[in-house]
Amino acid sequence: MTSYEGTHRTVHVRVGSRHAQIDEQLAPTIQAIWECGFDTFTCCQDLAESNADWPEKLPHMAEWVESRRGWMLIDFPVDSGLAFLSAAANAGPRDAFYVRMTHWAAPDAWHVKIKPMDAAMFQEDQPSHFGLRLLQVSFPAHDLPELTRRLREHAAGRSVPPAPADWSTVGR
Asked if residue 26 lies in contact with residue 144, where contact means CB atoms within 8 angstroms, the answer is yes
| CA-to-CA separations, 74 to 58, 84, 151, in angstroms, rounded | 23, 11, 14
* CB-CB neighbours of 159 under 10 Å: 15
Asked if residue 93 lies in contact with residue 160, where contact means CB atoms within 8 angstroms, the answer is yes
Report the run of H or E that residue 27 belongs to, with start and end. Answer: helix 27-35
What mean pLDDT do residues 32-41 have? Answer: 98
Asked if residue 73 lies in contact with residue 50, where contact means CB atoms within 8 angstroms, the answer is no
pLDDT digits (tens, 9 = 90+) for 62-88: 888 888 889 999 999 999 999 999 999
Task: Give the C-alpha separation, 72 to 144, whole Å.
Answer: 9
pLDDT digits (tens, 9 = 90+) for 104-143: 999 999 999 999 999 999 999 999 999 999 999 999 999 9
Single pTM value for the model: 0.90
Give SS3 for 64: helix
DSSP β-bridge partners for residue 139:
72
Sign of CA dihedral 54, 55, 56, 59: positive
More confident residue, 6 or 21: 21
**pLDDT for the residue 128:** 97
The values of phi and psi at residue 160, to 5°, are -110, 135
Task: Give the C-alpha separation, 60 to 54, whole Å.
Answer: 9
Strands 111-118 and 71-76: unpaired
